[in-house]
């Protein structure tokens, strides 16, 4: 587990290092444009799945445990085909809408952004399969290759061709990662033929809760991906770039808790099925909570120290980052713990509670963002809104998880 966590942390760190590297040679406005397009592209991967990828969260682990490999493969082919068709239609519509805007190279931006969205959706489907198979080695390699290639190609293309070049580098990296995960999954399925199964017949395993999880994840994702666009509209592209730097702290928390959830989530779902536990926590979450507290504290202290030492030189002044923003960002980093709580509810088929928490959190964030925009408040208020919304989200899930 420790080795797994280390390599997954390295892989996640490469994703954050990519944004930090781009921030060194891009203007705040160009970085804001890049992050806004990437945010919309990644959100489209959730939007156009229509619940089919989200439905695999517990469907594939349960089906894998019951020996339903053939049903999994059939499901993957159907979902992948539908995703490709939806993105083809979506990219066509987006181009006709954006061709009348002053956006530079709208065709290139839409095609590359749509490609990133499709690859992200297909990679999410592949990751769901790897989690179900609990193949730690393949999961580590997949994340290292995906983020390592993105770091190299996006930074190189961004340095040579600007923010749209960075987008193209992301697309090439995502496509190469998709090829790798496809070969990995073929190998895993070949080696698992005739493997051990539980007493549950695979014909009894049904795909449930996908619609509710789709809406819940879509709402949660929108707060993390469209927030940059909202700041861009309210305060301008430069402020969106500054917000994107602070949001790296959010992403650290999200990435770390996702690393843990990729191991703990499928295990919790399988345990609930095998043991018949129908309520409450399936296993302790104390250690992850303490770990996230330590992580948020370390990141906040490190950022404050870097600002005090002015390292990198002029960076904090360039992006107009204050100590208040850093403290608020550290709070949001910790509150990403909510993702782990969701798995304990999903394992009990309580997707309705997961959806309710997302609805409340997203509605609250939209109201607070709207108020900050209406009253012309500073960037600190927008980050405060994220912290309040994420805190309410985590507390609602915690309460439901312990019922």
- Give the residue-averaged pLDDT of 190-209: 52
Query: Cβ atoms within 10 A of the Cβ of 309, count?
Result: 10
Q: Are residues 295 and 160 in the same domain?
A: no
Q: State residue 198 phi and psi, 5-degree precision.
A: -85, 180
Question: Which of the 8 DSSP states describes residue 199?
Answer: S
Q: What is the pLDDT of residue 403?
A: 65
| Whether residue 392 has a cis bond before it, omega within 30° of 0 | no
Distance (Å, rounded) from C-alpha 68 to C-alpha 60?
9
The two three-digit tokens of residue 232, written as one number: 């861009």
Query: Cβ atoms within 10 A of the Cβ of 84, count?
Result: 12
The two three-digit tokens of residue 343, written as one number: 């798995």
Question: Which of the 8 DSSP states describes residue 105?
Answer: S
pLDDT at 331 over 90: yes
The two three-digit tokens of residue 48, written as one number: 């156009």
pLDDT at 93 over 50: yes
Query: Cβ atoms within 10 A of the Cβ of 280, count?
Result: 10
Q: Are residues 215 and 288 in the same domain?
A: yes
| Whether residue 141 has a cis bond before it, omega within 30° of 0 | no
Q: Are residues 195 and 306 in the same domain?
A: no
Q: Are residues 29 and 109 in the same domain?
A: yes
CB contact set of 173 (below 8 Å; sequence gap of 6+): 146, 149, 150, 152, 153, 154
Q: What is the pLDDT of residue 330?
A: 93
Distance (Å, rounded) from C-alpha 39 to C-alpha 227?
9
Express as a percent the part of the chain with pLDDT over 90: 19
Residue 303: is it exposed, middle or buried by C-beta count within 10 angstroms (0-12/13-18/19+)? buried
The listed range with the strongest mean pLDDT (122-126, 153-157, 255-259) is: 153-157
Q: Are residues 173 and 292 in the same domain?
A: no
Residue 347, classed as helix, strand or coil, is coil
Residue that terminates a domain, selected from 206, 237, 256: 206
Distance (Å, rounded) from C-alpha 88 to C-alpha 110?
11
Distance (Å, rounded) from C-alpha 310 to C-alpha 133?
46
Q: What is the pLDDT of residue 209?
A: 47
pLDDT at 157 over 80: yes
pLDDT at 319 over 90: no
pLDDT at 219 over 90: no
Q: Are residues 217 and 334 in the same domain?
A: yes
Q: Which of 148, 146, 100 is nearest to 123 (CA)?
A: 146
Q: What is the pLDDT of residue 199?
A: 43
Express as a percent the part of the chain with pLDDT over 70: 83
Q: Are residues 182 and 242 in the same domain?
A: no
**pLDDT of 332-363, one tens digit each?**
999 998 888 887 777 777 778 888 998 999 89
Query: Cβ atoms within 10 A of the Cβ of 133, count?
Result: 23
pLDDT band at 2 (very low <50, low <70, confident <90, very high): low
pLDDT band at 329 (very low <50, low <70, confident <90, very high): very high
pLDDT at 203 over 50: no
CB contact set of 157 (below 8 Å; sequence gap of 6+): 165, 166, 168, 169
Give residue for tokens 């843990």.
260
Q: What is the pLDDT of residue 66?
A: 74
Residue that terminates a domain, selected from 176, 206, 236: 206
CB 38 within 8 A of CB 29: no
Please list, residue by residue across 31-44, b when 16 or more beta carbons sit within 10 angstroms of its beta carbon and e when fewer do. bbbbbbbbbbbbbb
Distance (Å, rounded) from C-alpha 287 to C-alpha 354?
22
Q: Are residues 187 and 72 in the same domain?
A: yes
Q: Which of 328, 309, 304 is nearest to 383 (CA)?
A: 328
Give residue for tokens 């304990």.
344
How would DSSP label each residue in 271-303?
A: HHHHH---SS-SS--HHHHHHHHHHHHHHHHHH
Task: Tell which wins on pLDDT, 94 or 195.
Answer: 94
Give residue for tokens 């709207």.
370
By residue range, what is the domain housing residue 132? Answer: 1-206
Q: Are residues 70 and 162 in the same domain?
A: yes
Q: Are residues 174 and 229 in the same domain?
A: no
- Give the residue-averaged pLDDT of 12-26: 83
Query: Given CA atoms 207, 209, 215, 219 in this order, what sign does their dihedral have?
Result: negative
Q: What is the pLDDT of residue 297?
A: 92
pLDDT band at 280 (very low <50, low <70, confident <90, very high): low
How many helices and strands (H and E) does the chain possess? 16, 0
Q: What is the pLDDT of residue 248?
A: 84
Q: Are residues 200 and 217 in the same domain?
A: no
Residue that terminates a domain, selected from 153, 187, 206: 206
The count of domains in the chain is: 2
Q: Are residues 244 and 172 in the same domain?
A: no
Q: What is the pLDDT of residue 202?
A: 45
Query: Cβ atoms within 10 A of the Cβ of 304, count?
Result: 14
Query: Cβ atoms within 10 A of the Cβ of 294, count?
Result: 11
CB 111 within 8 A of CB 36: no
């Amino acid at each position: 587990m420790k080795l797994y966590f280390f390599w997954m942390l390295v892989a996640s760190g490469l994703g954050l290092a990519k944004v930090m590297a781009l921030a060194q040679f891009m203007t705040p406005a160009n970085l804001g444009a890049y992050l806004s397009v990437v945010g919309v592209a990644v959100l489209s991967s959730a939007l156009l799945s229509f619940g089919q990828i989200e439905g695999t969260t517990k469907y594939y682990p349960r089906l894998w445990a019951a020996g339903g490999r053939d049903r999994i493969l059939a499901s993957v082919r159907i979902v992948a085909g539908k995703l490709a068709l939806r993105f083809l239609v979506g990219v066509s519509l987006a181009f006709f809408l954006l061709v009348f805007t002053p956006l530079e190279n709208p065709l290139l931006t839409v095609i590359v952004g749509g490609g990133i969205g499709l690859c992200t959706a297909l990679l999410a489907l592949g990751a769901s399969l790897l989690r179900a198979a609990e193949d730690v080695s393949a999961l580590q390699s997949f994340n290292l290759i995906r983020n390592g290639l993105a770091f190299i190609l996006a930074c190189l293309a961004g340095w040579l061709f600007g923010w749209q070049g960075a987008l193209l580098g992301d697309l090439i990296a995502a496509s190469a990662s998709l090829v790798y995960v496809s070969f990995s999954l073929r190998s895993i399925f070949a080696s698992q033929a005739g493997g051990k199964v539980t007493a549950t017949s695979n014909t009894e395993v049904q795909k449930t809760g996908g619609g509710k999880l789709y809406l819940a994840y879509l709402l949660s994702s929108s707060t993390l991906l469209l927030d940059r666009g909202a700041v861009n509209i309210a305060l301008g592209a430069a402020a969106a770039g500054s917000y994107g730097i602070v949001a790296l702290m959010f992403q650290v928390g999200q990435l770390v808790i996702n690393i843990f959830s990729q191991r703990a989530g499928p295990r919790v779902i399988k345990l609930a099925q095998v043991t018949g536990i129908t309520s409450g926590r399936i296993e302790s979450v104390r250690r992850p909570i303490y770990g996230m507290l330590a992580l948020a504290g370390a990141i906040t202290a490190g950022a404050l120290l870097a600002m005090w030492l002015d390292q990198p030189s002029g960076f904090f002044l360039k992006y107009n980052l204050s100590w208040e923003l850093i403290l608020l960002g550290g709070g949001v980093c910790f509150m990403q713990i909510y993702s782990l709580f969701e798995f304990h509810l999903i394992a009990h088929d309580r997707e309705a509670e997961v959806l309710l928490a997302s609805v409340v959190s997203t509605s609250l964030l939209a109201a607070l963002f709207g108020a900050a925009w209406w009253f012309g408040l500073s960037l600190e208020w927008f980050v405060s809104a994220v912290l309040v919304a994420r805190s309410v989200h985590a507390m609602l899930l915690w309460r439901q998880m312990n019922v």
